[in-house]
Amino acid sequence: MKISESKLQIISNEKVYPSSPTPHKLQTYKISMLDQANSPMPVPIILYFPSYNVPKSSADTTFEARVQLLKRSLSAILTRFYPLAGRISKDGRSIDCKDEGVPFIVAKIQGEMIADSRYDLAHGPAEPCLFPREIGWDTELGPGDNVAMIQVNRFECGGIAIAVVFWHKMGDAVTMINFIDSWAATARASTKECICPNYLFQHLFPQNEEMQTQDGSLRPLLRVGKSVMRRFVFDSSAINKLKEKSFVERPTRVEVVSALIWKCFMAASLANDKPESLLTHAVNLRRRSQLPFASDCFGNLGGMAAASCTNGKEMDLGKLVGKIRGAISKVNDDYVTRMLGDQGFLGYCKNLEETWSGIPKEADFVCISSWCNFGVYKVDFGWGKPVWITRSESGGGSESCFLNAVWLVDTRNGDGVEAWVTLEDKYMQVFEKVEELQALASIDPNPLNIN
């Protein structure tokens, strides 16, 4: 869905402020050590709501009424998620929370949100016009920038696409989805479902002057090149077949899909004369620690698992699932505990050392990040749940500083997996032709045909 500037009309460009002022003692939010470890890139998401989701009995049936509802509820929820209305400090190590507001753009798009099954949607969500600013892997936010931005897009068909952009150093996907879900609950006047976040991470994982101000664990692996993005969708039937083929006890959807993607990547890597490959997997530490880290904790709490293998020799799906599971099992309670308190930086360094132990330095690299089971398809502002969730990680033939990246997200009904795979052009030519992948996945399907 490539949209030219001539087809986009900005209706309004304003800021939404918290409905109550932030207390003086909270006007400086220090990011945690784990926040420091993340790159200053923006994390985007778009939620697509079709026009037929609007209930006829709703008083907010017009687009203008829904925009006003979104602004009122956003203003109310910003009193709880107060850092979002702030700005990045001069040193980049804190957020100035002086209620400067969240940019809120309203735009109208000439054209259909999802036209028909013939329409190529593979690159639509990457178009910058749907976002409040241009987004890419090499985009970085710095001093004085907003930490959150929103754009509401209305299509001719009546559908709405709500785009939200976060500063990654402020929070992870869990934090982002908690905010969006709480914003939606406020719009529905459902106070019971509205999260009041806690801000313990800045104290439990105090920032450290020695911490690099970039993602030091992955940065050396990043490469620039011509990239191609494809969406591979695995329905419940395909997932079950993968589980049966793995011969592993109680495999998860994410494990088997990750293993198949790695298997296909190895074929592409081998075809490009690389003898070994490396897979990294982002891990939500809230689920790995014995400490009571509730999902409402604000900030970044992620770790990284890494596994390697020899291309062409270890292509069995079950063995790859075992390698992934084994790597993730090392991201455990000890991994988290080592990073707590004033000596946390030493623990962070030890975790990195153990993660990379035994990994060949020249291994070909692919990274996977999963948002499965995060509940993003449950978001409801009062006119139904989204029909599709996307991010802007489409290569689309552009230059990307982060090649060989995979993002996993639930399908709409929750039992499938949608994999967004961005690879070098020459890698994708081999990757997408692997017979097992072609037999199990739908490639770039129309979102309306995904359950």
**Cβ-contact 117, 449 below 8 angstroms:** yes
316 part of the active site: no
Q: Could you give the C-alpha distances from 290 to 51, 117, 285, 324, 450, in angstroms and in order? A: 44, 47, 10, 21, 37
166 Cβ neighbours under 8 A, 6+ residues apart: 42, 43, 44, 147, 148, 175, 176
Strands 364-370 and 276-284: parallel
Catalytic: which of 60, 168, 181, 281?
168
Catalytic: which of 35, 60, 215, 380?
380
**Arithmetic mean of pLDDT, 325-335:** 95
Q: Any idea where the domains of the chain sit in the sequence?
A: 6-204, 219-449
What does the pLDDT look like over 136-194, one tens digit per residue? 656 788 899 999 999 999 988 888 999 999 999 999 999 999 999 999 999 998 766 67
**Cβ-contact 406, 368 below 8 angstroms:** yes
Of 52, 231, 59, 78, nearest to 150 (Cα)? 78
262 Cβ neighbours under 8 A, 6+ residues apart: 277, 279, 320, 324, 366
**Arithmetic mean of pLDDT, 394-416:** 75
Report the C-alpha gap between 7 and 229 in whole angstroms: 24
Residue 54 sits at φ, ψ, to 5 deg, of: -75, 120
203 part of the active site: no
Angle, vertex CA 125, rays to CA 124 and CA 127, nearest 5: 75
Identical fold at 6-204 and 219-449?
Answer: yes
Q: Say if domain 219-449 classifies as CATH 3.40.50.300.
A: no
The CATH number of the structural domain formed by 6-204 is: 3.30.559.10
What does the pLDDT look like over 201-246, one tens digit per residue? 999 999 998 886 444 455 556 666 678 889 999 999 999 999 999 8
342 Cβ neighbours under 8 A, 6+ residues apart: 206
